[in-house]
Chain A
Amino acid sequence: MVDNKLIISSSPQWRDNESIPKIMWTVNATLVPIWAFSIYLYGFPAFWITFLAIISAIITEHIITKLLHKPSTISDGSAVVTGILLAFNLPPDVPFWIPIIGSFVAIAIGKQIFGGLGNNPLNPALVGRAFLMASWPVEMTSKWLAPHGGTLSGLTLQGFTGATPLNIYKINLAAIKADTTEINIAATKAINGLYANWQKLFIGNIGGCIGETSALLILLGGLFLIYKKYIDWRVPFTYILTVGFLGWMFGGYQGLFSGNFLFHIFSGGLFLGAFYMLTDMVTSPITKKGRIIFAAGAGVIAITIRLAGGYPEGVSYSILLMNLVVPLIDRYVKPTKFGEVKNEK
């Protein structure tokens, strides 16, 4: 008899095999191909910057848990996710201390200060990025590298190669609206060139942050996570469709419905944000209906920043802003209980 060794616990008496480390390490695994592709595109800096971000995230997590006399949580994989995602949101040629400070802020202020994984109201990686954007705007917006065998914008037009696609789009859209005929022709040409380049944007051999350029690889990783039920398909699809639709509706230079759907969804960090950051379980609503509201709201904010805000890209702020609304959404969007008395007809 093994009488004296029996475990007593509240039912259920067994559990399935999912766990937080399993989820987090799977997410990490799906990020590896994207990282590998970025190294192909930008060379050694893409490896180096991401590596530093991961190491800084792990060390920060370890030190803080030690200081708080809590068990170290680095093995659950969430600090690594934060490190990779922070790096993926950085231009490839930033100085080495940028990812180190970024990951430190992401883990310390984005996550641990609230009590660790599960208690953070905002996506930690984006907190780190927002901090860097506010503190070192020049480094964060100019340290681009042209991808392997191409130009930063994907265009070969003279004068339109040294900026990211969304930047060129924004400047030229403004120029067309200001309506100076000479500039107008060149600007129109540039924008049409960007639109025609959607395949390049989709595959990712184009300039941008380290991990954001390949919509294709992000989509594959994201679909795998959807298949594993680690993320809810409603979030990325609602977000991407909202941005694409509103971009098509308001983003053109010939009035309503003259924008380009594909350009808006494949450019910038939309796919990375949609599949890997907006879907962060901790900072998105817990009900399906809530998640649709959340993702649509983020889509509206992202396209508003792209078309009318001060930055060329609005993905990270759209996510941070909607993260703040999550508790409110969770409070008001509750599923209808089974057997809840329906209104008498």
Chain B
Amino acid sequence: MALFKKYTFKGGVHPDDRKNLSSGQAIEIMPPPKIAYIPVQQHIGAPATILVKPGDEVKKGQLIAQASGFVSANIHSSINGIVKKIENLNTPIGRKSQTIIIERNDESETDFDEQHIENLDKKYIIEKIKEAGIVGLGGATFPTHVKLSPPPGKSIDTLIINGAECEPYLTCDYRIMIEKTEDFLKGVMLLKTALEVDNVYIGIEKNKPDAIHKLTEATANLPIKVIGLEVKYPQGAEKQLIYAILKKEVPSGGLPLDVGVVVQNVGTAYAIYEAIYKNKNLYERVLTVSGEGIKNPKNLLVRIGTPIAEVIEYCGGLKDDTIKVINGGPMMGIAIFDLNVPVIKGTSGILALTKEQTAIYEEHNCISCGRCVDVCPMNLVPTMIMKNIKKDFTEETEKYGAMDCIECGSCAYVCPAKINLVHYIRLAKSTIIANRRKAQQTKGASNG
């Protein structure tokens, strides 16, 4: 392999990574909340079916809502307590969901310890992952057992662990990699067994040299290659990550498994380790609480269902000049309007930005500077999609590749006219999907 080979992709942007706010903070365990708000829709796919009713006593880690259908995920209680109510409440991703409200009681919690495990087979691991309700913890929240069960005819030969953590501010995956190195690698090996693959890579951006160093040492005797990736956003986007490491392009409209690859996030691998070695379901996660508006930025292990306001309070509260709170990173995260929404499985970070970092941006006419075209990692023309969807030319937006957009936000980030390009592309996408559905229905009606 060439000495100067660069692992990167075309396009992208270089936002200031601001990771030093929290990268030095060891993962701290936040005490369980008094009341946990656990939505049954925390993942991509169908909401889970509720198994409990008000008055029921539940234990930490107990199944309280069951996956309904293949693409769905189990939901577990994150505390010992009594189910108080089931209500339709806001979630941090801007949607409402049926939420199980549990009040903690004084019953002492049992710990989950590592057990010695032998003779693991593929089926068992996948079944266990499904049971534990594990979803992609990078933020996409796609049920992991689905990703590990490729449809017949598709063969997988490579597993990539996504340790790029390319979103600014976020440091939770980094902390897992350097603090829980051995356990994390056990999780990676479990994924390798589940997928029956020979090639395993861990991709880490070069702004985390100690993580690269530590993992390179720890994997010396394991069939895992650690790759130092060039620092560029969105290096952690699945398709860009696969391209950087393998130089393979996932076909337009396709999935990583079309090129024989499965990508899993660092936090997910760690959750898989816990599910199998500790028999522990996914009821808590590591997340980063950071941003210039947070008094004491931290990396925290937080129970699912803890209100975000309490997490922020635990980190010293918000500074007065905070004007935005985000679930996730600043590039793809979702702005929160109600701080009482709970931490969910996909909450990789809680950020508070001040007016130094963000503002209400006023949109100007596009001046055709072409910056969005230059930075688009999918090689699209974002401004043409915007111009066409504004005129309701939905078919045109499809020709310009609206459906290929990964919503990384690079185009809007660099736009000097401050146009909300991603917003317009999402509008184009949903219009295209609505039109397709309509077309199908008319077809169905005429056939019937």
Which residues of A come within 8 Å of B, CB atoms? 1-3, 5-16, 18-20, 22-23, 76, 115-119, 229, 232, 281-288, 291, 330, 334-341
28 A-B pairs, CB-CB below 8 angstroms?
A2-B320, A5-B323, A6-B324, A6-B335, A9-B324, A9-B361, A9-B420, A11-B331, A11-B332, A12-B331, A12-B413, A13-B331, A14-B358, A16-B13, A20-B416, A118-B364, A118-B417, A119-B365, A229-B371, A281-B369, A282-B367, A288-B370, A330-B384, A335-B373, A337-B401, A338-B243, A338-B252, A339-B252
Separation of A9 and B332 alpha carbons in the complex (Å): 11
Contact: A11 with B416, CB < 8 Å? no
Chain A to chain B: the 6 pairs with minimum beta-carbon distance, closest first: A118-B365, A12-B409, A10-B423, A286-B370, A281-B369, A339-B252
Which of A13, A19, A119, A341 is B416 in contact with, Cβ under 8 Å? Answer: A19
Q: Which residues of the other chain, B, contact A282 by a CB distance below 8 angstroms? A: 367-368
Contact: B416 with A18, CB < 8 Å? yes
Interface status of B254 (Cβ within 8 A of chain A): yes
- The proximity string for B residues 292-322 relative to A, scoring 1 for CB distances below 8 Å and 0 otherwise, is 0000000000000000010000000110101
Interface status of B412 (Cβ within 8 A of chain A): yes
Contact: A8 with B381, CB < 8 Å? no
Q: Which residues of the other chain, B, contact A281 by a CB distance below 8 angstroms? A: 367-370
Contact: B366 with A11, CB < 8 Å? no
Interface status of B415 (Cβ within 8 A of chain A): yes
Q: Which residues of the other chain, B, contact A10 by a CB distance below 8 angstroms? A: 420, 422-423, 426
Q: Which residues of the other chain, B, contact A22 by a CB distance below 8 angstroms? A: 416
Contact: B379 with A338, CB < 8 Å? yes
Q: Which residues of the other chain, A, contact B251 by a CB distance below 8 angstroms? A: 339-341
Contact: B330 with A337, CB < 8 Å? no
Q: Which residues of the other chain, B, contact A118 by a CB distance below 8 angstroms? A: 364-368, 417
Contact: B416 with A2, CB < 8 Å? no
Within 8 A of A (CB), among B329-351: 330-339, 351
* Given A9-B361, A281-B370, A335-B381; 7 other pairs, CB 8 A cutoff: A1-B309, A6-B336, A9-B360, A12-B330, A15-B413, A22-B416, A337-B252
- The proximity string for B residues 373-404 relative to A, scoring 1 for CB distances below 8 Å and 0 otherwise, is 11001111101100000000000000011001
Separation of A302 and B13 alpha carbons in the complex (Å): 37
Separation of A76 and B380 alpha carbons in the complex (Å): 28
Contact: A6 with B325, CB < 8 Å? yes
Contact: A3 with B373, CB < 8 Å? no
Interface centre among A15, A16, A22, A232 (most CB of B within 10 A): A15
Which of A14, A117, A334 is B367 in contact with, Cβ under 8 Å? Answer: A117
Interface status of B249 (Cβ within 8 A of chain A): yes
Contact: B412 with A287, CB < 8 Å? no
Separation of A15 and B337 alpha carbons in the complex (Å): 20
Q: Which residue of B has the minimal Cβ distance to A119?
A: B365
Interface status of B357 (Cβ within 8 A of chain A): yes
How near does chain A come to B45, taking the closest CB pair, in angstroms?
Answer: 22
Do most interface residues of chain B lie in helix, strand or loop, or is the interface mixed? loop
Interface status of B429 (Cβ within 8 A of chain A): no
Q: Which residues of the other chain, A, contact B325 by a CB distance below 8 angstroms? A: 6
Separation of A5 and B354 alpha carbons in the complex (Å): 11
Q: Which residues of the other chain, B, contact A18 by a CB distance below 8 angstroms? A: 371, 414, 416
Separation of A334 and B378 alpha carbons in the complex (Å): 12
How near does chain A come to B33, taking the closest CB pair, in angstroms?
Answer: 17
Separation of A145 and B233 alpha carbons in the complex (Å): 54
How near does chain A come to B53, taking the closest CB pair, in angstroms?
Answer: 32
Contact: A340 with B252, CB < 8 Å? yes
Separation of A337 and B322 alpha carbons in the complex (Å): 39
Contact: B335 with A14, CB < 8 Å? no
How near does chain B come to A100, taking the closest CB pair, in angstroms?
Answer: 26
Contact: B415 with A15, CB < 8 Å? yes
- The proximity string for B residues 38-54 relative to A, scoring 1 for CB distances below 8 Å and 0 otherwise, is 00000000000000000
How near does chain B come to A293, taking the closest CB pair, in angstroms?
Answer: 14
Q: What size tier do the contact residues of chain B reach?
A: 35 or more
Separation of A3 and B323 alpha carbons in the complex (Å): 9
Known: A6-B324, A22-B416, A334-B400. A13 touches B330 (CB 8 A): yes
How near does chain B come to A173, taking the closest CB pair, in angstroms?
Answer: 38
Contact: B365 with A117, CB < 8 Å? yes
How near does chain B come to A213, taking the closest CB pair, in angstroms?
Answer: 29
Contact: A12 with B332, CB < 8 Å? yes
Interface status of B418 (Cβ within 8 A of chain A): yes
Q: Which residues of the other chain, A, contact B360 by a CB distance below 8 angstroms? A: 7, 9
Q: Which residues of the other chain, A, contact B323 by a CB distance below 8 angstroms? A: 2, 5-7
How near does chain A come to B341, taking the closest CB pair, in angstroms?
Answer: 12
Separation of A341 and B253 alpha carbons in the complex (Å): 10
Interface status of B173 (Cβ within 8 A of chain A): no
Interface status of B239 (Cβ within 8 A of chain A): yes
Separation of A282 and B368 alpha carbons in the complex (Å): 5
Contact: A336 with B337, CB < 8 Å? no
Known: A15-B415, A232-B370. A6 touches B337 (CB 8 A): yes
Q: Which residues of the other chain, B, contact A287 by a CB distance below 8 angstroms? A: 370, 373, 381
Separation of A125 and B415 alpha carbons in the complex (Å): 25
Q: Which residues of the other chain, A, contact B330 by a CB distance below 8 angstroms? A: 12-14
Q: Which residues of the other chain, B, contact A339 by a CB distance below 8 angstroms? A: 239, 249-254, 378, 404
Contact: A115 with B413, CB < 8 Å? no
Interface status of B63 (Cβ within 8 A of chain A): no
Contact: B334 with A337, CB < 8 Å? no
Separation of A339 and B318 alpha carbons in the complex (Å): 43
Interface status of B32 (Cβ within 8 A of chain A): no
Interface status of B36 (Cβ within 8 A of chain A): no
How near does chain B come to A333, taking the closest CB pair, in angstroms?
Answer: 10
Contact: B381 with A11, CB < 8 Å? no
Q: Which residues of the other chain, B, contact A14 by a CB distance below 8 angstroms? A: 15, 330-331, 353, 357-358, 413
Interface status of B102 (Cβ within 8 A of chain A): no
Q: Which residues of the other chain, A, contact B132 by a CB distance below 8 angstroms? A: none
How near does chain B come to A76, taking the closest CB pair, in angstroms?
Answer: 8
Q: Which residues of the other chain, A, contact B365 by a CB distance below 8 angstroms? A: 115-119
Separation of A6 and B324 alpha carbons in the complex (Å): 5
Contact: A15 with B326, CB < 8 Å? no
Interface centre among A7, A76, A285, A336 (most CB of B within 10 A): A7
How near does chain B come to A345, taking the closest CB pair, in angstroms?
Answer: 15
Contact: A338 with B336, CB < 8 Å? no
Interface status of B183 (Cβ within 8 A of chain A): no
Interface status of B274 (Cβ within 8 A of chain A): no
Q: Which residue of A has the minimal Cβ distance to B251?
A: A339
Q: Which residues of the other chain, A, contact B384 by a CB distance below 8 angstroms? A: 286, 330
Contact: B383 with A11, CB < 8 Å? no
Q: Which residues of the other chain, A, contact B368 by a CB distance below 8 angstroms? A: 118, 281-286
- The proximity string for B residues 238-255 relative to A, scoring 1 for CB distances below 8 Å and 0 otherwise, is 010001000001111110
Contact: B318 with A8, CB < 8 Å? no
How near does chain B come to A279, taking the closest CB pair, in angstroms?
Answer: 10
Interface status of B407 (Cβ within 8 A of chain A): yes
How near does chain A come to B266, taking the closest CB pair, in angstroms?
Answer: 22
